Amino acid sequence: MEEKISLEIVTPDRQLVKEMVDEITAPGSEGYFGVLPGHIPFLTTLKIGEVAYRRERETRYLAVSWGYAQVEPAKMVILAEIAEPAEEIDIERAQRARMRAEKRLEEKTEELDFERARAALEKALIRLQVATKKLPQ
């Protein structure tokens, strides 16, 4: 039997994934990284992005925003501040969030919190990207 790695993805509210998988990619603060069984241990913070994990021929996707990932040879734990599997993403809500953030960034009013607006836009764009990758029902 082929070697697998245990993947756990949790948020402060719930456990989203607990599964033996073949391969994971995640958005580290220094960029996307891939994890295969037997990876050397490391710890990183996460940015806004897409987590993908493959089991056999099936790959599943989640949108995540911030948190930590801890990698060990036989186990990876992702503690995400916010995470949604592709199947749970409300596309209209993400489109509205995208429009709001774009408007704020365009208007550039004095009260604009640039980092906050930019992060809101990035979250919305990642949600829209991940939503297109849901598994066929």
Give the interface with ligand ATP as residue ranges (CB under 6 A): 65, 82, 84, 88-90, 93-94, 97, 120, 123, 127
Cβ nearer to ligand ATP, comparing 16 with 35: 16
Shortest Cβ 9–ligand ATP spacing (Å): 13
Shortest Cβ 70–ligand ATP spacing (Å): 21
Between the alpha carbon of residue 19 and those of residues 22, 113, 122, the distances in Å are 10, 39, 28
Burial label, 41 (beta-carbon count in 10 A; 0-12, 13-18, 19+): exposed
Cβ nearer to ligand ATP, comparing 18 with 93: 93
- The bridge status of strand 5-10 relative to strand 75-85 is parallel
Shortest Cβ 93–ligand ATP spacing (Å): 4
| Residue number with the smallest Cβ distance to ligand ATP | 90
What angle separates helix 91-107 from helix 114-131, to the nearest 10 degrees?
150
